[in-house]
Structure 1
Amino acid sequence: MTVRTGAVDAHHHVWDLSVRDQDWITGPELAPLRRNFTVEGLEPEARAVGVSRTVLVQTVTVAEETPEFLALAEEHDLIGGVVGWTDLTSPDVADELARLRELPGGRYLKGIRHQVQGEPDPEWLSRPDVRRGLTAVAAAGLVYDLVVLPHQLPACTRAAAALPDLTFVLDHLGKPPIASGEPEPWACDTKALAARPNTVCKLSGLVTEADPRGWTVADLAPYGDTVLDAFGPGRLMFGSDWPVCTLVASYAEVIDIAGQLTEKLDAGERQEVFAGTATRVYGL
């Protein structure tokens, strides 16, 4: 599906293994990702399907990555915003956010993300030091991306309730158990999160949660329908999750799948999913 020019891809990554290892890329299934992925590699694919702006999202919990991403945003017109990383538990988090904004490309810093999915404590988002850091993110006018597993969704809902001034963006629908075909309790917990008005969801990451032995768009549709109904198009945004998506689908295929999952929407609603929501939430 080619969308109208001006579409936004609200979630992608880049990395250069000569600069920094991506220690999460392990095992034969992820082996195709063990190479460099650059903005120059993404740009022709994005432009070909009408995507003119993107949001570059952190990959590792390394402080040096965010300044590098900000510099890339300064250099490339394609990147409209950066979701970076900083240590939320640091007592100096507010000062660090201010410092990042003073760097080259600092105006492109739109949000912060931490790999909560890797935290063994399901209540990590409820820790006092984390909540203090999230308060600083809100005070800085930034959003917070949630990369979590389904069992962590209740903690996300409690954090959203406790911090109404902070916009929480749920990445990859909270990684629903598509391969198992058992949507509960993910669906119920996602609806509870969506009931908080300061929450948004990315229509992203579905293809890599599906059964690697084979899947169809029909297998993804119940999960797409759940978030469409719960968040509505005004709080839903398309993200490719490139290059992770390339494990199972090309960039063009991923945006086509998102088009099929939203085909019941009218033109204005689709414009929200493919541009309006991300532009508004990230201040692109």
Structure 2
Amino acid sequence: MLFDTHLHLVYPDRLRYPWLDDAPALNRPSLMSDYARAAHRLGITDVLHMEVDVAPAQIREETALVSDLMAERGSLLRGAISSCRPEEDGFADLLDWAQDQPAIKGFRRILHEMPDDLSTTPTFRDNVKRLSGTGLTFDLCVYPRQHGHAVALIDHCPDVQFVLDHCGVPDIAAGGFDAWAPGITEIAKRSNVVAKISGIVAYTDRDAWTLDDLRPYVAHVARQFGHDRLIWGSDSPVCNLGGGLETWVGATHALTVDWLPGDRAALYAGNAKRLWSL
């Protein structure tokens, strides 16, 4: 069974998503009811919602939406990773509020589509450091060219639990293994980071990729982090760009078919449940 640690939900009737105006392939509703129908067929039993970079004024409203969906009968949702703005002085107030929100399990600030130096300011780094001892995680979504900045942030916050999204966002379509792999090796040396094997089909030649295109990337992440520091996510609906949820789940099973049963179980669900005490 699978624990999906990276589901995006889009409810344009309740929230605003400014970035979707420039992403026509994704600019449509993505509802829990539609996802759940597919998830039940695929063996997905637990889900964390990943923030969708809503308009900053609506960050708390996004958590309210997830909380409402969690309360529905038979809901698969177990919590949320909230958006945040560590580059701003108001982060401390958001953190105080979040610690009273049972739904919130961690934070993410999108970095891969932002200026590379966003995470390098003292304000940003010190605000992320505030997560120390809270039990709240911080997701890192960074391109290979930003891996060095990620290492610096991690080293500044040794008591914060980090999650590296999407295998560190490799450029699989361009054959970017050599530009990506050293950063993964360096990040993996930090014991306070787990890697999320999630949705990398979106970084392939979307019309022509095969399992052999994905295999070296997943193998390198598993080798560097070890099977006890890996979690799984769909990145739905972004994974639709590379074939969809069903395709990614099938690829996950195929890529791990030779793993020991305990290692598969750890990736699929066990590590996530332990990481967030679920």
TM over 0.5: yes
By how many angstroms is 1:97 displaced? 1.9
Partner of 2:102: 107
Q: Is 1:14 matched up with 2:9?
A: yes
Distance 1:158 1:89 in 2: 15
Contact kept in structure 2, 1:89 and 1:132, CA below 8 Å: no
Contact kept in structure 2, 1:70 and 1:109, CA below 8 Å: no
- Listed one character per residue, the Cα deviations across residues 187-226 of structure 1 (whole Å, up to 9, x for unaligned) are 0011100110001111112101001241101111111111
Partner of 2:18: 23
Q: State the aligned residue count.
A: 273
Counterpart selection for 1:43 from 36, 43, 68: 36
Partner of 2:247: 253
Comparing 76-85 and 37-46, the one that deviates more: 76-85
- Listed one character per residue, the Cα deviations across residues 122-156 of structure 1 (whole Å, up to 9, x for unaligned) are 23222110112111222422000011111111111
Contact kept in structure 2, 1:12 and 1:239, CA below 8 Å: yes
SS of 1:117's equivalent in the other structure is: coil
Shift in alpha-carbon separation, 1:53–1:194, aligned structure 2, 3 A: same
Counterpart selection for 2:87 from 86, 89, 94: 89
Root-mean-square deviation (Å): 1.8
Correspondences of 1:51-130 after superposition (within 5 Å): 51-61=44-54, 62=56, 63=59, 64-75=61-72, 77-102=75-100, 106-120=101-115, 122-130=116-124
Distance 1:39 1:8 in 2: 15
By how many angstroms is 1:164 displaced? 1.2
Partner of 2:142: 148
- Listed one character per residue, the Cα deviations across residues 14-66 of structure 1 (whole Å, up to 9, x for unaligned) are 01122334333356xx5342221111111121111211101100011522323
SS of 1:11's equivalent in the other structure is: strand
Ranges in structure 1 where 5+ consecutive residues have no aligned partner: none
By how many angstroms is 1:262 displaced? 1.6
Contact kept in structure 1, 2:66 and 2:79, CA below 8 Å: no
Ranges in structure 2 where 5+ consecutive residues have no aligned partner: none
Distance 1:148 1:229 in 2: 20
Q: Is 1:265 matched up with 2:263?
A: no
| TM superposition score normalised by structure 1 | 0.90
Identity %: 30
Report the residue type matching 1:272 in the other structure.
A
By how many angstroms is 1:163 displaced? 1.2
Contact kept in structure 1, 2:63 and 2:103, CA below 8 Å: no
By how many angstroms is 1:92 displaced? 4.1
